[in-house]
Amino acid sequence: MKTKFIIFWLFIGFSAAAPAQPNPTRARDLGIPLDGKPGLYNAITDVKGVEVGMTTIIEGSGPLVVGKGPVRTGVTAILPRGKTFDPVFANWYSLNGNGEMTGTTWVTESGFLETPILITNTHSVGVVRDATVAWQAQKKFYNTQGGGFWFSYPLVAETYDGLLNDVNGFHVTREHVMQALDGAKNGPVAEGAVGGGTGMVCLGFKGGTGTASRVVNGHTVGVLVQANFGSRGQLTIAGIPVGRALLDTLSWRLNGEQIYGKPTAKQSSEQGSIIVIVATDAPLLPHQLKRIAQRVPLGIGKTGGVGGNSSGDIFLAFSTANSASFDRTATRAVQMLSNDAMDPLFTATVQATEEAILNALVAAKSMDGINGNFIPALPHESIRTILKKYNQLIIKP
């Protein structure tokens, strides 16, 4: 155990874009049975045109000194059509609204998402929003046709990382946001304690960023989550209440006190959030994308989430179909999938959401933070043992 801590702290002081390569261990690698056919990368970037970038900030150790650290936070950027201004049809839904996602009023009103999507920690929403406006201005990421003016309502979402991070220290800067946006690309997506998910805790273990995708009837559905919700006793994998079996193992350390995952412990109660972004290339209009976003909670529920009172569970869905449908002056013709053909997309959304959450948990490593607070990683072998007991483990040859 001592050796592990030495290795971990060798990386303290790192502040750079997250690596493009995914963590080599994902939910499927553990033998967790999951339904549906994933895309090439099993990531939101399987939807053609979608790009993801991240900045991960890990600095310092020891007692909390506000403004100095320790720092365990970051930024995740999702660009629906890459670095091209071509607004997408979108809509959003909130299961429980104890959280923030800026820009949604205009998304609902207009039916379009006109900006990149950013995800960070709760108290960095403002700086991330402002930096995104600056990035768009620098890159001329806008269209002034039909009037010669431009304004922007960036879509920025958050979850709280104050158990591990100096959340009141405002360590996410304009440069970090620019770095995430400039570094966005397609292909594999890093998972676990990276980007905006760096300091997050999920279902009693280290959480963070996760992604997954499904291919159905010639269309792709991709999901990216920032998972920071739930208590350990709720954790469910493949229908098995694995969290209950792990309540008295792998304690947290909070302010010097060892805390296990028992529901009676105040520190382990439901007090987090989850942001979910769903992308698809199916030709869906805003009212249909609302229906997609409303299916996200079913995937969260499969992992044990219940949308607790203090949880910010906010979701957005967008479609990359109907390119060039946004125009300030002309009338545009668009395609729309039949409502009767949407059931496979609903299923894909549920499946990909579930897997993205599990991928975040599987990829995340144990982490120390402010005041020596410690959150353990999901114990891979214990999960395999429990699933095998219930004949729910896929054993690869």
Does the annotation count 311 as an active-site position?
yes
The one catalytic residue among 152, 231, 268, 273: 273
Terminal C-alpha separation, the chain: 31
Residue 109 CA to residue 83 CA, distance in Å, equals 24
* Cα gap 8→13, rounded to integer Å: 11
Q: Among 285, 263, 332, which residue's Cα sits nearest to residue 111?
A: 285
Coil/strand/helix, residue 4: helix
Which one of 231, 313, 319, 366 is the catalytic residue? 313
Determine the Cα–Cα distance for residues 295 and 348; give it in Å rounded to an integer: 10
Residue 395's φ and ψ, nearest 5 degrees, are -100, 115
Dihedral angle of Cα 140, 277, 273, 258, to the nearest 10 degrees: -100
Residue partners of 391: CB distance under 8 A and separation at least 6: none
- The residue annotated as part of the active site, out of 124, 152, 311, 366, is 311
Among the listed residues 166, 165, 178, the one whose alpha carbon sits nearest the alpha carbon of residue 138: 178
Q: Is 152 designated active site?
A: no
Task: For residue 388, give the H/E element and its range.
Answer: helix 380-389
DSSP state letter for 270: S
Alpha carbon 310 to its chain centroid, in Å, reads 18
Contacts (Cβ under 8 Å, ≥6 apart) of 245? 382, 386
What strands lie across the sheet with 312-319, from one edge to the other? 112-113, 88-97, 312-319, 273-280, 219-228, 208-216
Does the active-site annotation cover 313? yes
Pairwise CA distance, residues 354 & 203, whole Å: 13
- Indicate which residues carry an active-site annotation: 273, 311, 313
